[in-house]
Amino acid sequence: MSNAQAALAEITVTLPDGSTRAYPRGTTGEQVAASIGAGLAKAAVAMKIDGVQRDLYLPIERDVNLSILTARDAEGLDVIRHTITAQLLASAVKQLYPSAKLAIGPTIENGFYYDIELENPLTPDELPKIEAKMREILAQGKTVTREMWKRDEAIAVFEKRGESYKAEIIRTAPDADGVNTTKGHVSLYRQGEGDAAFIDLCFGPHVPNFAKITAAFTLTKLSGAYWRGDAKNKQLTRIYGLAFATEKELKAHLLMVEEAEKRDHRKLGRELDLFHLQQEAHGSVFWHPNGYLIWRELEAYMRRAIDDGGYREVKTPQVMDAKQWEQSGHWGKYRENMFVIPDEVPNTEDSGPIVSSKAEWMALKPMNCPAHVLIFKQGIKSYRDLPLRIYENGCCHRNEPHGALHGLMRVRQFTQDDAHIFCREDQIVEETKKFCELADRVYKDLGFTNYTIKLALRPEKRFGSDEMWDKAEAELRTAVLEAGLDKAHGFEELPGEGAFYAPKLEWHLTDAIGRTWQVGTIQSDRVLPERLDASYVGEDGEKHRPVMLHRAIFGSYERFIGILIEHYAGKLPQWLAPVQAVVCSITNEFDGYATEVYEALKAAGIRAQFDNRAEKINFKVRDHSLQKVPYIIAVGGRDAESRSVALRTLGSEGQQTLALDAAVQTLVKDCQPPRAA
């Protein structure tokens, strides 16, 4: 063989550490892994070729960048989860319920699901039986191999087997060449041999052998799901499962889920009498007195924060002419999420006129920004007036899909702690830095010391020039660095995640059980001032466009209260607790002194209640502890004689005896709200 022929027979593989290795053309991922080390060969479940996941046993025919995936990698674990749902779960169901028709089985965060049509509905009691069958199949150590079938042949096979959903997927799938596709063919995976082999339609990749599945998994729940998400189609049974690299990780996740269920804000909202939701106002919240006290305290806290930050509070209309929304761009980009009056409107494009011979179309505001621009435009603004910080506790309405609504976390009517800062180009970094510092204080005051800041960069479809986006992204990045929050809060950048009109900084809070919540944002917008013709007179006497910084810290009061409830499991900080103290008389004989204690607390500004029910004191203590009251004060004969109280703090063992004046002073100090300045 000549040197040229030998060179053509070899390929160069570049590994993640930048090193390169030469292999014969046609070498598989399995062989590459084995050449690196026996441990890697044993752990390998799939490979990535030039960033695309592929089956481990496929031959490599050209020079590539190669990564070997294992269960320790997020993508490797995802391949395992995919194999568990598409091969183990699907084949187990087919063995137990031969008439079942398989639809789709993707992976999701922490696990997987499969949508299946069954003659008789499954019950949760059947999940252990299905899981046992999955483990039986797993123990057989079968190989899973990829085959490329002609589309017509694949359709015929699935129709013969009664798998109408698989046949429909193939008929409607686009036919194109690609890394994992071949024109005119589809990808199937075979488990076992002969006519009894289990065959499923799948894009892949999969673990090549069940012996490589060392992950811990379990089936968790059932739900209904319409085929292709359309309520006009048949409802299928969706089987959910979890899978983690180790049993320890699975158990930790299950404990977290159990804890999350205990903390569910909807459950605690009922138990603590905070709020309720009902069909008559679907997507809007009925706040009860206790819940609205939390709202009022947060609102007062935020007002102190914005007053200290130089904001000027405003109030804008709920309903505005549709022409205003057309001019701002929301009519064309956001119309389907808006409540319009009347509720039938012309179908116009972003640039098309709104025409009606019968009425003027109006819309409930889905956001506050256009109204704040209208306030800015009242009167001539000078460069000396900037920055102008306009704040509103603005009630907004968005027509969220029925199925997307979720307690306080996703509603149709909500109130934002919304502000817009109109500033000059040279003020952007300083204003963003100030906001970063304010947000940091607010989150820490509310118990969230662990959070990350992320910079969402330009999406593919966007308004504005590349130069504009370069400037806006650099300004936000610089502000985080100058505020000194980058290293402490895991600053990272998210390519393609920005809004269509502006990049944004996002705050992701980590709660008490490790979940993350995206809440605050600040966006640097040069688009809306242009569309709505906002301007100020510069030092040169000419008109200039302001930059508009959209910012919020809570995001919405509803959602943030839901997050607080779950973060604290209903046991809110003393200053936020709807009832801060309850005075309980041990017997009605001491109601007189108990009343005096109660009145002293009220006079000191403590939100107190008086419980003189004819119940035993242990019953009262337990009852108010379940209601998460921070302080329970028991009053008996000795207390009346010595003018003292027995003070019990929620979550602590025992009680302490304090003089009445000392107890009042203690509660006043502990219940003092933070200043946020």
**For position 229, what pLDDT does the model report?**
85
Q: Is 238 known to be catalytic?
A: no
pLDDT band per the 50, 70, 90 thresholds, residue 192: confident
Contact 535, 542 (CB under 8 A): no
pLDDT band per the 50, 70, 90 thresholds, residue 26: very high
Cα angle, residue 190 at apex, residues 184 and 196 outer, rounded to 5°: 120
Over the stretch 148-164, which tens digit does the pLDDT of each residue have? 999 899 999 899 989 99
The pair of structure tokens assigned to 449 is: 């010391």
Evaluate if residue 299 carries a pLDDT over 60.
yes
Q: Which of 87, 191, 324, 416 is catalytic?
A: 416
Q: Which of 82, 200, 369, 525 is catalytic?
A: 369
Q: Is 398 known to be catalytic?
A: yes
Over the stretch 443-455, which tens digit does the pLDDT of each residue have? 999 999 999 999 9
- Cα-Cα-Cα-Cα torsion 361, 367, 368, 371, nearest 10 degrees, comes to -20
Mean pLDDT of 584-604: 93
Out of 3.40.140.10, 3.30.980.10, 2.60.120.260, 2.30.130.40, the CATH code matching 75-259 is: 3.30.980.10
**What is the SS3 assignment for 312-350?**
EECCCCCEEEHHHHHHHCHHHHHHHHCCEECCCCCCCCC
Helices 247-263 and 557-567 sit at what angle, rounded to 10 degrees?
120
Over the stretch 35-84, which tens digit does the pLDDT of each residue have? 999 999 999 999 999 999 999 999 999 999 999 999 989 999 999 999 99
**For position 486, what pLDDT does the model report?**
82
Q: Which of 82, 550, 624, 648 is catalytic?
A: 550
Q: Is 418 known to be catalytic?
A: yes
Q: What is the CATH number of domain 283-318+365-565?
A: 3.30.930.10
Pairwise CA distance, residues 302 & 431, whole Å: 18
Evaluate if residue 356 carries a pLDDT over 80.
no
**Cα atoms in the Cβ-side hemisphere of radius 13 Å centred on 29:** 27
**For position 195, what pLDDT does the model report?**
67
Q: Is 504 known to be catalytic?
A: yes
Q: Which of 81, 263, 397, 398 is catalytic?
A: 398
The CATH H-level superfamily of 3-70 is Beta-grasp domain (3.10.20.30)
Over the stretch 645-659, which tens digit does the pLDDT of each residue have? 999 999 888 889 999
Q: Picking from 78-82, 320-324, 562-566, 611-615, which range would have the lowest pLDDT averaged per residue?
A: 320-324
Q: Is 466 known to be catalytic?
A: no
Mean pLDDT of 466-485: 91
Domain limits, the chain: 3-70, 75-259, 283-318+365-565, 319-364, 581-670
Residues with Cβ within 8 Å of residue 259, at least 6 apart in sequence: 513
Q: Is 142 known to be catalytic?
A: no
Mean pLDDT of 506-532: 93
pLDDT band per the 50, 70, 90 thresholds, residue 176: low
Q: Which of 54, 372, 397, 420 is catalytic?
A: 420
Q: Which of 504, 559, 628, 648 is catalytic?
A: 504
pLDDT band per the 50, 70, 90 thresholds, residue 344: low
Contact 632, 625 (CB under 8 A): yes
**For position 4, what pLDDT does the model report?**
45
Q: Which fold has domain 581-670?
A: Rossmann fold (3.40.50)
Q: Which of 200, 417, 418, 511 is catalytic?
A: 418
Chain-wide mean pLDDT for the chain?
90
